[in-house]
């Protein structure tokens, strides 16, 4: 049996959801601490994400979707310094 591609899956784990939607792992995990989220289902001790519910949730809250997006880090200037 062939393993389904991420884009084809209806149920995702947290890491898959973060990767699929380009979200910040830290921000998404913080959101998951909230109760009553319609896209989260408990599977034993794990939380699984119902993809269709997550998409509807994010679509109805564009400001939240933007806040969860992963942004490139700003350069501090230290990255280009060379040791002498």
| pLDDT tens per residue across span 35-72 | 899 999 988 989 999 999 999 999 999 898 889 997 77
How many whole angstroms separate alpha carbon 76 and alpha carbon 79? 7
Residue 18 has pLDDT above 90, yes or no: yes
Residue 9 has pLDDT above 80, yes or no: yes
Sketch the domain layout of the chain as residue ranges.
6-71
The answer to whether the pTM exceeds 0.85 is: no
Listed in sequence order, the residues at least 6 apart from 65 whose beta carbon sits closer than 8 Å to its beta carbon are 58, 59
């Amino acid at each position: 049996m062939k393993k389904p591609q991420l884009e084809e899956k209806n149920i995702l784990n947290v890491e898959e959801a973060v990767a699929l939607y380009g979200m910040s792992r830290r921000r998404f995990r913080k959101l998951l601490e909230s109760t009553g989220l319609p896209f989260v289902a408990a599977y034993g001790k794990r939380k699984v994400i119902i993809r269709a519910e997550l998409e509807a949730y994010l679509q109805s809250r564009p400001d939240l979707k933007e806040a969860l997006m992963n942004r490139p880090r700003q350069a501090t200037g230290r990255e280009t310094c060379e040791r002498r």
